Structure 1
Amino acid sequence: MAEGDESGEHGPAWLVEQRYRAVLEVLDGSPVSEVAVRYGVSRQAIYTWKAKYEAEGLEGLREKSRRPRTSPTRLPAEVEALACEMRRANPRWGARRIAYEIAKAGSAGAPSRATVHRVLERNGLIRHQKQQHRRKYKRWQRETPMHLWQMDLVGGIYLADGRECKMLTGIDDHSRFVVISTVLAVPSGRAVADGFVRAMRTYGVPAEVLTDNGKQFTGRFTKPRPAEVLFERVCRENGVTAKLIKPYSPTTTGKIERWHQTLRRELLDVSGPFADLPAAQAAVDAWVHTYNTARPHQALDMATPASRFRPNPQPEPTIVASPAPAEEPVVAAGPPGPPTLLVPTSAPAVEFETVVAATGHVGVLPRVQRVKLSKDYAGRRARVWADEHTVHITIDGELVRSAASCLDAGNLRELSMRGAVPAGPPPAAPAAARAGRLEPGTVIEVDRNIDQSGIASLGKVPVTIGYELASRRVTLRLDGHLLHVVHDGVLAKTLPAPIDADQRAGLRGARIVTGELPPSATGAIHVERKVPTDGVIMVARQRLRVGRTYAGEIVTVHVEDTYFRITLNGADLSLHPRKEQHPVTRFRAKIHAPKL
């Protein structure tokens, strides 16, 4: 390839030159067959090049996009945006669960699991993992409910005073319905037997029960000789066949072990220490109720465990090991509300001038981050624009390099102390209006201010972004038939694109984007509230009692699907079950100025 040749979206420059020479030879009188042999193409190709050159000149010899103008079978933009929103609101949902929820919502043209997987992969919402070739096991399942219960003890439930509690768990083998979820301060044999009897009072007596070889479940390993423990006696006197797994074979009770993993990931790992034992039991009961009645199970063909479970018509056990407990309140599972977003805050950006080193590096904060440039820029003055997400390097007003930032808020304050000044808007890429006609697939970004009603304007088209981003400045990324909303370097929302591709080049402040889509916001929603004198705050239309001791303090409320966790300066204060699924509409605490 000759020096100076470039490769772009329309193919290398030498290809145009080759076609141009072939056309010139034909125009000079050379036979088309000989020209085709010399250039290694067919005669039809030579005639095609000649016709395009006569019609359009050199531009006609460039490679044109072969993308189809229409795609009748393409997934509707509304459905694709809904799939992306479901994934961001529920990061643990897979393609199968999202496809099921879309079909359940009654959306037209519900996609298959494979289609949803491709949508998530195309929008950067899937993190690829290394394939693990696991050992294959033989699956088994009882034919009817109440035939077999799998039971076990699980730890990892911590209280605010530092104690670790255990929980007695039980699951119906056929329906995956959780029949036992009792938090125990001391996992004694009496407590385990009492929890088992309470479950039989509620749902009936199962035919069999399968456990491991723990001392609460069996006395076969009791020294100096085997003995019958209380749990075995309860099973014997109620006609329940007590089965034990082979030692060191936890896969036999795989259903209850897999449920423990789900419990840890979705509740215990994110809840932190509970205030006391009743608070832990209330949070577990609320989560289990949602698991049984509202959450579809993939092993049940996306049916809920409650739809497959049928209690025994004779629920009363013949032998009562402990008094019947008081009736526990049932947390109502309301309809799921619209997904709410976590809008993270960021430290203000700074900018300063520096000199490019002889190696071509620009030291943003040398011990934290250096950005590599070409050695051709050595000795020249560069202007650095930096925040917690991005670092832009400009030289003589031209954007040279953009890189992911390694700085945090403390590093930005250190730069300010070294002479950096508050930054203006980030350097913009070349405007789309100066790029001429946009090629198919070009991605466009614009910056817009969201008004108090949550609406932004694209040209003359109003776009409803959402009140959670009201009065904020966001970046709107138009990619194909989708509109991505980016705020503070985090992908906040995906919507259908409101304008066609041929209208985007003329948008105010539009710029061509070549970088990757930023990551989406994950985790629980964090809101702030100032505790009033009565010690009661309001979150999502629900009253949460914090206590008059913390009056005047600004607390953080972690909003999950089934509970609210209140913290102050990183310390847990209390945990409250979430009774309704109303969306969060206010994220900041109202702090009134003192009266003069």
Structure 2
Amino acid sequence: MEGEGSGQSPTWLVEQRYRAVLEVLDGSPVSEVAVRYGVSRQTIYTWKYKYDTDGFEGLREKSRRPRTSPTRLPAEIEALACEMRRANPRWGARRIAYELARTSPAAAPSRATVHRVLERNGLIRHQKQQHRRKYKRWQRETPMHLWQLDLVGGIFLADGRECKMLTGIDDHSRFVVIATVLAVPSGRAVADGFVRAMRTYGVPAEVLTDNGKQFTGRFTKPRPAEVLFERVCRENGVTAKLIKPYSPTTTGKIERWHQTLRRELLDVSGPFADLPAAQAAVDAWVHTYNTARPHQALEMATPASRFRPNPPPEPTVVVAPQPSGKDHEPTPTIPAEAPLLLPSATQAVEFDAVIPASCRLGILPRVQYVRIQPEHVGRRARVWADENTVHVIIDGKVIKSTSSRLDAANLHELSLRGAIPAGPPPALVPQPGRPDPDAVIEVDRKVDGSGITQLGNTHVKVGYELANQRVTLRLDGQLLHVVHDGVLAKTLPAPISPDARTRLRGARIVTDELPPPAAGAIAVERKVPVDGVIMVARQRLRVGRTYAGEIVTVHVEDTFFRVTLNGADLSLHPRKNQHPVTRFRAKIHSPKL
């Protein structure tokens, strides 16, 4: 029998209470009525009092909600918090509470209150937290003590090129000091970007980088050497620190900033029109990050509020040695600017050369060679070179174009060897029998065991699922379509320029329609281990120990995995994530001897 504390008042419950009250009014003992209706004597007296006071309606259950809630969050503040979450899905409760405190300081809720509001309105997706490793966190005490530097890719242009960006962040304040988009991530370009940042913010005490060849030459073969970046650090008194190999967590601050950059800018912006447009977009986003975006690691302060640049360094006075003798006047002192001024990039140069019998034309023998086709041996060629491109021209036609490995010092050395200043770069004219650069072309290529094929001098990562297969690559505008067995396998950004496509081996013009994509699920193979659990797309699927040693087929759908053996269904598992499949074949280890 339901008592008074149920919080509900259906019709049968009110009638039950009414009958109990009538029995008491007819003279039945209260204790007997309480036993029959399964309630206490006090409940019977309460029902009788309510009936005497308000009649039949008094037996209905009344709301127990308090008449006033002084501490309840106002409805407009709760609605504003929900709108902030919907407009900015990456904002958490702490960021929303901070923004509400800025807009409405008098009614600013706490982080826990905002979290309850988001959870109550279904705006939080709970996920299992996995903390497999614990890291020792560290931070420099003052700004300008340490800069973390790195190179990051993923900046695509409309012409299909992928550029890299030199990034740098102050360890104490998280202030981004360097964000330079580079067409070619050479050692020269990295040093130039570092010097420009020091001219703007001053010279840091230390820099921390990985072991990339642009930052250090300690792994240079056959013996270690000093690269340009290390020379800049040495000339300016900066201590260059390197992380241990394969330890990216040491530069965790810059790596975490790369993740924020990808999610908030690169993933939503799409390909940029050109290099200046990409740099302008990055500069605008970095300015907002430094000055307006609160940082949780800084107690919701902006990086600009914690950053203090060093004053410009005093000019270093270099005094030339004085020769002995009374007839010589003192040599005036020469102020040397700091930080180090690198030599400016020289203009393009050109010179004549004869194609040798080895078919390897030396642009600068110790730096770069260009391989030429055998039919041009013995002919005189005109070489046009700058820091980005090298063109080899015979009889007014460009027979070879390749990326340049030369820097400003190499171009200056060529000019000392007789090269003259060059004019504008030559126009690439399609040769007879080769397709127009704007045409849609196809080439047939073989994918190696690592899922990589080659277009000219460019390596294209097609994917593990097409390893050791023959595919057709269709270049259409800024896209590269991969066709296998008459179906469209995938679409990638075009890795080479339209001019370079005219020189591809086996290129042909196509006019037919693009084949449709493959339908159905992706099928992968797995060998069941002794514990009966296999891994697909970072998810554990329990097949059973009965099938240990068998090779099963897993059909990967959007929402589930279907495991089959010899065409018979074994099990069905819900898909809990959307991680891509990177391994399609079963690992079969050879038996131990």
CA deviations over 1:237-296 (Å, ceiling 9, x no partner): 211111111111111111111111110111000000000000000000000011111111
C-alpha displacement of 1:158: 0.4
TM-score (norm 1): 0.51
Instruction: Tell me, yes or no, if the aligned pair for 2:203 and 2:339 is still in contact at 8 Å.
Output: no
Please name the residue that 1:300 is paired with.
Answer: 298
Matched with 1:319 is 340
What do the CA deviations read for 1:285-342 (whole angstroms, capped 9, x no partner)?
0000111111111111111111111111135644223449xxxxxxxxxxxxxxxxxx
- Aligned partner of residue 120 in structure 1, secondary structure: helix
Offset at residue 62 of structure 1 (A): 3.4
What displacement does 1:55 show?
4.4
**Cα distance in 2 for residues equivalent to 1:177 and 1:134:** 29
- Residues 93 and 114 of structure 2 are in contact (CA less than 8 Å); yes or no, is this contact kept in structure 1? yes
C-alpha deviation, 1:12, in angstroms: 5.5
Rounded to whole Å, the distance in 2 between the matches of 1:131 and 1:65 is: 40
Structure 1 Cα separation of the partners of residues 343 and 306 of structure 2: 29
| Offset, 1:17 | 4.9
Q: How does 1:457-476 map to 2 (within 5 A)?
A: none
Flag the 1:231–1:200 CA change in 2: closer, same or farther, 3 A.
same
Kept in 2, the 8 Å contact 1:216–1:231? The answer is yes
1:112/1:323 CA distance change after superposition, 3 Å:
farther
How far, CA to CA, are the matches of 2:293 and 2:202 in structure 1? Answer: 23
- In the alignment, is residue 60 of structure 1 matched against residue 81 of structure 2? no
Give 1:65 deviation, angstroms.
Answer: 2.0
Aligned residue-pair number: 320
Which TM-score applies when normalising by structure 2? 0.51
The structure 2 residue matched to 1:274, chosen from 272, 275, 278, is: 272
SS in structure 1 of the partner of residue 106 of structure 2: coil
The one of 207, 210, 213 equivalent to 2:208 is 210
Among candidates 130, 154, 157, match of residue 156 of structure 1 = 154
SS at match of 1:108: helix
Aligned residue among 235, 240, 243 for 1:242: 240
1:35 and 2:33 aligned: yes
**Which residue number corresponds to residue 187 of structure 1?**
185
Q: Distance in 2 between matches of 1:244 and 1:276?
A: 33
Post-superposition shift, 1:19? Answer: 3.0
Whole-Å separation in 1 of the counterparts to 2:44 and 2:185: 85
Deviation at 1:15, TM superposition (A): 4.0
For the residues of structure 1 that align with 2:219 and 2:37, how far apart are their CA atoms?
A: 86
Q: Does 1:124 align with 2:122?
A: yes
Q: Residue type matched to 1:60 in 2?
A: G
- Alpha-carbon shift at residue 134 of structure 1 (Å): 4.3
Give distance in 2, aligned partners of 1:107 and 1:314: 40
1:139 matched residue in structure 2: 137
Answer yes or no: is the 8 Å Cα contact 2:199–2:339 preserved in 1. no
Match of 1:289 among 281, 287, 296: 287
Counterpart Cα distance in 2 of 1:110 and 1:127: 24
Inter-partner Cα distance in structure 2 for 1:66 and 1:223: 81
Identity of aligned residues (%): 90
CA distance in structure 1 between the partners assigned to 2:22 and 2:61 by the alignment: 19
Contact in 2 for aligned 1:153/1:169 (Cα 8 Å): yes
Q: Per the alignment, do residues 70 and 134 of structure 1 end up closer, same or farther by CA in structure 2, a change over 3 Å counting? A: farther
Name the aligned partner's letter for residue 243 of structure 1. K
CA shift, 1:102, in A, is: 2.0
Unpaired runs of 5+ residues, structure 1, are: 3-7, 325-596
Q: Which residue is equivalent to 1:433?
A: none
Q: Which has the higher contact order (CA 8 A, sep 6+)?
A: 1
Unaligned runs of 5+ in 2: 314-336, 346-593
| Number of the residue aligned with 1:349 | none
- Correspondence for 1:329: none
Rounded to whole Å, the distance in 2 between the matches of 1:312 and 1:323 is 25
Separation (CA, whole Å) in 1 of partners of 2:247 and 2:255 = 12
Contact map agreement 1:295 1:304 (CA 8 A) in 2? yes
With over 3 angstroms needed to count, the CA separation of the structure-2 counterparts of 1:234 and 1:215, relative to structure 1, is same
Aligned partners of 2:10, 2:249: CA distance in 1, in Å? Answer: 58
8 A Cα contact 1:190 1:230, kept in partner: yes
Structure 1 residue 212: Cα displacement:
1.1
Aligned equivalents of 2:84, 2:257: Cα separation in 1: 23
Task: Rate the CA distance shift 1:11–1:154 in 2: closer, same or farther, 3 A.
Answer: farther
Q: Secondary structure at the match of 2:212?
A: coil
Structure 2 SS opposite 1:127 = coil
Supply the distance in 2 between the matched residues of 1:323 and 1:20 (Cα, whole angstroms): 99
The answer to whether the 8 Å contact 1:238/1:318 transfers is yes
Q: Secondary structure of 2:24's match? A: helix
Give the aligned CA root-mean-square deviation in angstroms. 2.5
SS of the equivalent of 2:178 reads strand
8 Å CA contact retained: 1:150, 1:256: yes
Contact 1:167 1:182 (C-alpha < 8 Å) held by counterparts: yes
Alignment partner of 2:221 out of 211, 220, 223: 223
Which secondary structure does the structure 1 equivalent of 2:107 belong to? coil
Q: Which amino acid aligns with 1:176?
A: R
Residue type at the aligned position of 1:320: L
Q: Deviations over 1:183-235 (max 9, x none)?
A: 01111111111111111111111101011111111122222222222111111
What is the aligned partner in structure 2 of residue 309 from structure 1?
307
One-letter code aligned to 1:186: V
Contact 1:194 1:322 in 2 (8 A): no
The one-letter code sitting in structure 1 at the alignment partner of 2:74 is P
| Cross-structure match for 2:498 | none
CA distance in 1 between counterparts of 2:26 and 2:89 reads 65
1:103 equivalent to 2:96? Answer no
Report the equivalent of 1:254.
252
Q: Secondary structure at the match of 2:261?
A: helix
AA of the residue aligned to 2:76: E
CA apart distance, 1:136:
2.1
| Counterparts in 2 of 1:293 and 1:156: CA distance versus 1, 3 Å | same
2: distance between equivalents of 1:198 and 1:322? 13
Larger radius of gyration: 2
The CA distance in 2 between the partners of 1:309 and 1:322, in whole Å, is 30
Distance 1:123 1:322, change over 3 A: farther
